[in-house]
Structure 1
Amino acid sequence: MSFRELRSFTWQYTLIGIMLSASWFLSSKFTDTISKRISGVNEGAEMLLILFSIVIVFVIGFIVYELAKPTILPSFVLAIFFGIVSRDILALLVQNPISLATLITIGAVLILFEGGLETPFTKFKTLLGPILALAVVGTLINALLLSLLLDSMLHRFGVTIPLLTTVLLGAALASTDPAAIIPSFKGLMFSHPRVKHIAVSESAINDVMGAVLVTIFLSLFLNGYTAFSVLEAYKMLLSVDVLIHIFSVVFIGTVVGLLGYGILLWWSNWKLKILTEEGSDAALFLGVPLLVYTLASVIGGSGFLAVFVSSLMFHIRSHFRHVEHYFSHTVEGFMKPMIFMLLGAMVEPADLLAVAPAGIAVGLLFMFVLRPLIVFMTLIPFCFTSQQMTMREMFFLSFVRETGVIPAVLLITISLAGLPGNETMMAVGLWIILLTLTIEPPLTPYVAKKLGIARETPPLPERKHQGPVAVLCSRGYSFPERMKTVVQWAKGHSVENIMLLHCPEERYSEEFVAGIQQECDALFHRINDKLVSNGEKELNFEFLCGPGLLQDNIERLIAEGDVSIIFVGTKMLDYRLEDVKRLDVPFYFIQ
């Protein structure tokens, strides 16, 4: 590490310490004054206090996002710490059960809806076996074994949590978080992308599975069901009446989810028909998940399952991309930090310290023993099927098992139910979440490269010809026909350099690149031969095949300069209008 890097590193973490200290000071010293001042308002004082708390969450969320960007710390971890030091000011929200439950529910609904949108459905169908094995069977086994581990280990450390609360804690922490997994894959190029698709898709589905499991257990316990051991609690799930209840919850949730998908599909087809991006699409993306959640919950189904099904089935089309970006930024920039901040604010620092040895011990066993065991148990059968899963892939999937935002939501939900042992349960759960989010994401690239299943995305090769260049972008085999448009434009604008930027993304391999290279060379020769025969000057053609996403490669190419125009297919790019303008290069969309 150079001196400049060391100085930057020191400053980044010093700034985090300063901001945490400032947040604690302002929260502890000025909360009472602000509360008294707002409470002095004759009308609407309670509403103003809640609104003020939400503003604080917005501000802290922005600070957390900016502070986390240059560090290896996930923003979620910082959000938890800021929640802990800002407990006094956030208490205005935390101590209002109705407002807290409403915010948490809205957050969970929108996060699950986004999880469905981010799940690549085409890949999901081809990898259905291992995904469902991990997400359904694996999550059930995970919840059971974690509950047994908690029941055993906490007693050894002198930590007491009632049995029913322990069962709920195990179920809440059983799922993983795609939002924590996806950023750790950035900059990696997988030799077999299926391992990435399995990790992302499975983590989105097991969030729903964990939510359904907690909802069912909570319903049983609040309605008088009881158990004297963890195994007895899980045996309740096999009784006829409970099985009928589970089937009803899942069936109704699925049907309502399909109804939501139908609304989204109808709206999408109508917008495509009228060929406009104007309108209230954002309201639909917020309204549909809340509608299906409410409807499913009212008629006895799983609202969380309904939300996920509606978004999983819906394929985002190009005319909805601007809405998806807005929706994604809303969830990432506000909902997720808010939930982690509120989780941190709900845990007493004294409780967190009191259960530290137990929480850390359980967390480490959970990460490095329990979860790998479950991955191997559920995926080994697929070593002998057409999937042919490898040991290295299973080791990698064992490591990327971060516990994130939906488990945090479920912990808060359990706490709001008022079961005994809530305070201790929240503290232990927070330790486990902190450990998985702190240890696993920064080490994921190292583990992937060490196992040989991924490598860092290499830089783009240097250009052969300098000067202004017209770039045709492609991910498939449509470039020969589209090249005619590029050549005509170059001739009309006196641009002598034409580049084909080909990014096959998941199909990227040396063999694939070599095949495309031969096809391009032949195409370039044919075009120049025709130009010469017509008495025109030859053009300087160049083929560039970049690994990784097309959007990333376009940005890297533009950053190098001399790009006059970018030619792309109308359905190729996921940029919204503001992103295209930011690149400051003309885009020509070819039908």
Structure 2
Amino acid sequence: MSSLEVAKHDLLYVGVIIFAGLLGGVLARRIKVPDIVLFLVIGIALGPTIGGLLHVPADSVMNQMILTVGACYLLFEGGATLRFVVLREVWITLLLISTLGVLITGAITAAVGVWFGLPLAIALVLGALTASTDPATLIPIFKQVPIKDRVSQTVMSESALNDAMGAIATFAVVGYVMGTGGGFSLTGSLQTLAWEVGMGLLLGGLVGYAAAFLMAHNSFGIFRDVTPFVIILAVITVYLLADAVHASGFMAVFTCGVIIGNKEAFGLPLDHHEHEYLEDYMGNTALLMRMFIFILLGSQVDFHLLKEYLGIGLALLAVFIVIARPLTVFLCAAPDRRAKWSLKELLFMSWTRETGVIPAALVGILAGMKVPGMDVVGAITFIFILGTILIQATTTSLLAGKLGLLKSQQP
């Protein structure tokens, strides 16, 4: 097939995904479910097994480009939602649950996976891959459901922060499993992690401030009228810079989002009209990224593997929801005397932890890297994504009401 024919096929796939995604988004709003649920279902329906309209191999350039850009942008948006005012009150909880919490959740998942009969390498990758929560699901939910501010901001901030840590942990585990590190070394792993995180934070902070300066400074804000393009350029630039120095591109992109999202704290505010314009742009772009990631993921589901691993996937999901997440929350948040979490708040945070965009994107990226066992990991991850979204996302409002955490219930 010629390059022109390949380009035409890819263009057709882009059109199909956008059209189907727009229809799915409208339907999701009407039936009041997270849009990514319908995007997954649409992807399954359009994929080669059923509809045959969408066939984008996991190792194709198009798939890798969409997943990498999509994951970066969604992490950027997640970082942009984090507010310094929340950090001051709950930073200890956020630090613990986004670092130690990722390891606790991943370790429990991996250990139970091995106990259920999964090979150790596959269980480790699965544990790391599914340990983070999902800002792309949680942020829209909390915009629709008026939850007590500090609880909703904490859960959203955690979901944004631990995605970067989850991605770092995943690639560290993959390096160990594939033997690229020459054997496991705790000291070496900690040094590598420190470098990846530290440089990611530094580069993200520098690029984020530079972008905010050029967008919003009174005298030097020369790109004030083209802020969306500055955002895209900042995301691409900081990711590639971090990758060039072997730092975490995901952490860099996330940090960049945090700085730009809190630009007012640096004396770089946009006026009300410009701020609304930027918010609309970021929301619409994030929607587009969710469409592509989840529809592509659904189209790549292997039904034979899904059927084969449905039992173990559901069993792991049950452990994931009722043991791994609550244990993580109570170990990381309950000791935080500064935040003084109530039992009801801890119970709510224990239930609210959807798996979604970043694990989905990482599945595609690792499949393209030919990581062994990714077909099995992908099938179980799909069960996790669909299960947590269908079970937990759809019951968020009900649980918040029962626990008295809705804003309308506050004195």
Residue 189 of structure 1 and its aligned partner are, at CA, apart by 4.5
Using a 3 Å threshold, how does the CA distance of structure 1 residues 275 and 338 change in structure 2: closer, same or farther? closer
Distance 1:246 1:436 in 2: 29
**TM-aligned CA deviation for residue 224 of structure 1:** 3.9
Give the letter for the 1:280 counterpart: V
Residue in structure 2 matched with residue 296 of structure 1 by the alignment: 242
Which amino acid in 2 is paired with 1:220? Y
Matched, 1:47 2:7: yes
Comparing 439-448 with 86-95, greater Cα deviation is found at 86-95
What is the correspondence of 1:83-232 to structure 2 with a 5 Å cutoff?
Answer: 83-88=43-48, 89=52, 91-94=54-57, 97-153=60-116, 155=117, 161-186=118-143, 188-190=145-147, 192-224=148-180
Cα deviation for residue 439 of structure 1 reads 0.7
Q: How does 1:264-275 map to 2 (within 5 A)?
A: 264-270=211-217, 272-273=218-219
The question of whether the paired residues in 1 share the 8 Å contact of 2:34 and 2:141 is answered with no
Counterparts in 2 of 1:279 and 1:379: CA distance versus 1, 3 Å:
closer
Q: Distance in 1 between matches of 2:80 and 2:146?
A: 22
Report deviation, 1:149. Answer: 1.4
2:37 aligned residue: 77
Q: RMSD of aligned C-alpha atoms?
A: 2.2
Structure 1 counterpart of 2:106, one-letter code: A
CA distance change for structure 1 residues 269 and 189 in 2, over 3 Å: closer, same or farther? closer
SS of match in other structure, 1:280: helix
CA change 1:362–1:268 in 2 (3 A) is same
Q: Which has the larger radius of gyration?
A: 1
Normalised TM-score (structure 2): 0.91
Does the 8 Å CA contact 2:41/2:298 hold for their aligned counterparts? yes
Greater share of helix: 2
Q: Which residue of 1 aligns with 2:303?
A: 349
Give the secondary structure class of the aligned counterpart of 1:381: coil
User: Aligned partners of 1:239 and 1:353: how far apart in 2?
Assistant: 37
Q: Is the 8 A contact 2:207 2:238 kept in 1?
A: yes
| Percentage of identical aligned residues | 27
CA distance change for structure 1 residues 225 and 187 in 2, over 3 Å: closer, same or farther?
closer
Alpha-carbon distance in structure 2 between the residues aligned to 1:424 and 1:67: 31
Gaps of 5+ in 2: 264-268
What is the distance in 2 between the residues matched to 1:152 and 1:239?
Answer: 24
Match of 2:294 in 1: 340
Maintained 8 Å contact 1:260/1:292: yes
The residue identity in structure 2 corresponding to 1:147 is A
State the one-letter code of the partner of 2:22. F
| 1:117 positional shift | 0.9
CA deviation map 1:421-440 (0-9, x unaligned):
22222111101111100011
**Which residue in the other structure is 2:232 paired with?**
286
Deviation per CA, 1:195-221, whole angstroms, max 9, x where unpaired?
Answer: 112111111101111011112222333
Q: Could you tell me which runs of 5 or more consecutive residues in structure 1 were left unpaired when the two chains were aligned.
A: 1-38, 156-160, 228-235, 458-508, 511-591
Pairwise CA distance, 1:73: 2.6
Scaled by the length of structure 1, the TM-score of the pair is 0.64
Change (3 A) 1:170 1:90: farther
User: CA–CA distance in 1 between the matches of 2:57 and 2:105?
Assistant: 30
> Could you tell me how far 1:56 is from its partner in structure 2?
1.2
**In 1, Cα distance between the equivalents of 2:197 and 2:169?**
11
Deviations 1:144-167 (A, max 9, x none): 1111111212x2xxxxx5422221
- How far residue 91 of structure 1 moved from its aligned partner, in angstroms, is 5.0
Change (3 A) 1:118 1:218: same
Distance (whole Å) between structure 1 residues aligned to residue 121 and residue 319 of structure 2: 21
Note closer, same or farther for the CA distance 1:346–1:43 as it changes in structure 2 (3 Å cut). Answer: closer
Q: Distance in 2 between matches of 1:325 and 1:393?
A: 31
**What amino acid sits opposite 1:261 in the alignment?**
G
- Between the aligned partners of 1:97 and 1:165, the Cα distance in structure 2 is 23
Is 1:84–1:344's contact at 8 Å kept on the other side of the alignment? yes
- CA distance in structure 1 between the aligned counterparts of 2:105 and 2:58, rounded to whole angstroms: 32
**Residue-by-residue CA offset, 1:516-536 (whole Å, 9 max, x unaligned):** xxxxxxxxxxxxxxxxxxxxx
Aligned ranges 1:374-523 → 2 under 5 Å? 374-382=328-336, 385-454=337-406, 456=408
Q: How many residues align?
A: 399
Q: Distance in 1 between matches of 2:352 and 2:330?
A: 13
Whether the 8 Å contact between 2:214 and 2:222 is mirrored in structure 1 is no
Q: 1:312 to 1:293 in 2, by over 3 A?
A: same
Give 2:284's match in structure 1, choosing from 322, 329, 339.
Answer: 329
Deviations 1:486-543 (A, max 9, x none): xxxxxxxxxxxxxxxxxxxxxxx66xxxxxxxxxxxxxxxxxxxxxxxxxxxxxxxxx
Q: 1:90 to 1:105 in 2, by over 3 A?
A: farther
CA distance in structure 1 between the aligned counterparts of 2:386 and 2:317, rounded to whole angstroms: 9
Residue 58 of structure 1: how far off its partner (Å) = 0.9
SS in structure 1 of the partner of residue 333 of structure 2: helix
Cα distance, 1:96 vs structure 2: 5.2
The question of whether the paired residues in 2 share the 8 Å contact of 1:181 and 1:200 is answered with yes
Following TM superposition, by how much is the alpha carbon of 1:175 offset from its aligned partner in structure 2, in angstroms?
0.5
Asked if the contact 1:165–1:419 (Cα under 8 Å) also holds between the matched residues in 2, the reply is: no
Structure of greater relative contact order (alpha carbons < 8 Å, 6+ residues apart)? 2
Instruction: Work out the CA distance in 1 between the residues paired with 2:340 and 2:352.
Output: 20
Identify the structure with the greater strand proportion.
1
Any idea what SS the aligned residue of 2:246 has?
A: coil
In 1, the alpha carbon distance for the partners of 2:124 and 2:54 equals 28
Q: Distance in 2 between matches of 1:428 and 1:277?
A: 45
For residues 212 and 58 of structure 2, the distance between their equivalents in structure 1, rounded to whole angstroms, comes to 40
Give the 3-state SS of the residue equivalent to 2:32 in structure 1. Answer: coil
1:248 aligned residue = 195
CA-CA distance at 1:304 after TM superposition? 0.5
Deviates more, 1:369-378 or 1:321-330: 321-330
| Deviation string, structure 1 residues 38-93 (Cα, Å, up to 9, x no partner) | x5xx6611111111111111111111101111113321111111111211256542
**Preserved CA contact (<8 Å) 1:64 1:78:** yes
What SS class does the counterpart of residue 131 from structure 2 fall into? coil
Q: Is the 8 A contact 1:207 1:406 kept in 2?
A: yes
Match of 1:310 in 2: 256
Partner residue of 1:364?
318
Aligned residue type for 1:349: F
CA contact (8 A) 2:24 2:39 kept: yes
User: Residue 131 of structure 2 contacts residue 166 of structure 2 at CA under 8 Å; is this kept in 1?
Assistant: yes
